[in-house]
A and B are shown apart, each in its own frame.
Chain A
């Protein structure tokens, strides 16, 4: 079964840039779209990036997504304290025919 691996935590100072990786040991990321979600404490996840690099309406361009091979990356520039949250990647597992999520990454803005 494919596993989407994310770093458990990342941190950076306000105003800086951070990247969060999402990698796997299979070809699901390479063959399917990747989405990213932001989950603020005590709230439901919110779609940040879809189709690898597209932003829904209302999502600032400080958030970006990219994909290469079996990895995807979420980038956040101009970090704000309000960006402190858990971030999840998601894609389709073609072998199991189901959606899979990464384990999540906790972002701390120091």
Chain B
């Protein structure tokens, strides 16, 4: 059974860089698309972007200038970096897997709350 687990700081200061890692267990990171999706408290889901296992990426245009997603196949992990954060970036961040770059997320991590505050 594939399992995804997010890890990283739960508190980030404004203007700094948010960094999260998702560890994939129970399956290979190869041949899938690995995405980050976030959910501000009490609000809906927002797609951040993906990295294919080969390294190709795609980002939500609204966040593209601040986002980097990368895959480390040797560790079966992928990561998210979001720069210049503000309070508006406070959210639960989920990592997820899909077989297509067009969505259809079949496995999700449990999510991790990241708060942006000084």
Given known contacts A98-B47, A104-B45, A32 and B110 CB-to-CB distance under 8 angstroms: no
Given known contacts A44-B109, A44-B110, A98-B60, A35 and B44 CB-to-CB distance under 8 angstroms: no
Given known contacts A44-B94, A45-B94, A98-B60, A35 and B46 CB-to-CB distance under 8 angstroms: no
B103 within 8 A of A: yes
Instruction: Give Cα A97–Cα B46 distance, bound, in whole angstroms.
Output: 14
The interface residues of chain B, by DSSP majority, are classed as strand
Classify chain B's interface size.
Answer: 20 to 34
B58 within 8 A of A: yes
Which A residues are CB-close (under 8 A) to B103? 33, 35, 90-92, 99
Instruction: Give Cα A43–Cα B39 distance, bound, in whole angstroms.
Output: 12
A103 within 8 A of B: yes
Interface set of A (CB-CB < 8 Å, partner B): 32-33, 35, 37, 43-47, 50-51, 56, 88, 90-92, 96-104
Interface set of B (CB-CB < 8 Å, partner A): 35, 44-47, 49, 58-61, 94, 102-106, 108-111
